[in-house]
Structure 1
Amino acid sequence: MPLAHAPTQPTTGNRVSDSELSLEARLAATDAAMTIRLEEAAVAHEVRTAHISTDPIDLGDVLTVPLTPTLQPPTPHRTPVAALLQRAHHRLLTGGWCAGALVEEDGARCMVGAIRIEAHGDHGLEAGAVAVLLDAIRRKFGDVDSVPFFNDAHSSGRIPLRMLDQAAGLADTRGL
């Protein structure tokens, strides 16, 4: 049962030493003292911060950067497949990612759509890039049927974009 106040001194004028109090009484006294200190600190904090405005902020007034990425393409990898995967990654960053179609009306592309447009008709290079991408996906997520299946299984482009970037690194490591 916690005490409401710290123990008082005895009426004889002698102070009660900590060793004369039980553990429960000492804990209760410490609890009471800490409660008082915390309440005083809370009041002091409220007084010090009372002048701060707490009006809601409209994020439209705060965000001043363009909402579409204006990234410069990164320095290309030295190998053709790695460079293609890197360009496809950049294409999705700047042009948008989609699921369920190679290309949407607004220009957003799926992983294979980005690889295809960046391959510029080189079907061998495209096939090599898709194979490395599938290998990178399988390393991370296990047995996946195909790149389009993986792409369409996501509701945002965050993970597909990350896998394109990792596949570019894998292709560069392999010298492809």
Structure 2
Amino acid sequence: MPQTHPAIDQTTPTTTAPTPPTELSLEERLAFINTAMTVKLDEAKVAYEVNTAHIDTEPVDLSDVVTGPVDTGPAPLPDLYPTPIAALLQRAHHRLLTGGWCKDVLVDEDGARCMLGAIRIEARGDSGLEAGAAAVLLDAIRRKFGDDVDSVPSFNDAHGSASAPLRMLDQAAGLADARGL
């Protein structure tokens, strides 16, 4: 008689397919996410405490830390033009850009200047240089706007913003340079 082996003769039990997991309700999912976030926040808290344990928490006196140069106002603009009247007109243009433009007065209460006021301050008392710059500026204005313009102050006061006066000072500086003035 043939020998039978007990393990071979036995039938293997059939395995049943695993049952799919049941879907969690909204409350169960929120509870799960809350638990996961709490764990992450606890880990972050521990990491923060470890990373900042060596930091000295004494207050810092900023007067000992913050130092810098004393503000002496805007740096003077180097003359781009080698001729004196062109350089004066360029400085007057820069003065209006940095100090402000005004109309109806040479200098307003805030320190802003009109075109002639900027020329006068930049001429530093040299009336000949001031007159030459005003003449070139008036010539540049008349080339662009016609001979109806009576004077530099009337042109300045006829505008509501600094754009045209600034543009004309810049063009006058180029004109003076081209003339060698």
For 2:78 and 2:157, how far apart are their aligned partners in 1?
A: 26
CA displacement 1:73-94 (0-9 Å, x = unmatched): 2543100000000000000000
Deviation at 1:158, TM superposition (A): 0.4
Distance in structure 2 (CA, Å) of the matches to 1:99 and 1:148? 8
Q: What amino acid is the match of 2:176? A: A
Deviation of 1:72 (Å):
6.5
* 1:142 correspondence with 2:157: no
Pairing 1:120–2:124 present: yes
Alignment of 1:71-110 (within 5 A): 73-110=77-114
* 2:101 and 2:112 in contact (8 A); partners too: yes
Structure 1, residues 131-159: CA drift from partner, whole Å, max 9, x if none?
00000000000011000000000000000
TM-score (norm 1): 0.59
Unaligned stretches of 5+ residues in structure 1? 1-69
Fraction of identical pairs, as percent: 79
Pairwise CA distance, 1:105 = 0.9
Q: How far apart are the structure 1 equivalents of 2:128 and 2:76?
A: 27
Cα separation, partners in 2 of 1:160 and 1:71, compared to 1, 3 Å: farther
CA drift of 1:71 comes to 7.9
Hey, what's the Cα distance between the residues in 1 that align with 2:78 and 2:94?
A: 8
Q: Which runs of 4+ in 1 moved over 6 A?
A: none
Q: Are the counterparts in 2 of residues 71 and 94 from structure 1 also a CA contact under 8 Å?
A: no
Whole-angstrom CA distance in 1 between matches of 2:169 and 2:139: 11
The root-mean-square deviation of aligned C-alpha atoms, in Å, is 1.3
Q: 3-state DSSP class of the match of 1:133?
A: helix
- Give structure 2 stretches of 5+ with no counterpart: 1-73
Superposed, 1:1-176 pairs within 5 Å as: 73-143=77-147, 144-176=149-181
Distance in 2, matches of 1:74 and 1:156, equals 26
Q: Which amino acid aligns with 1:114?
A: A
TM-score with structure 2 setting the length: 0.57
Structure 2: which amino acid aligns with 1:106? D
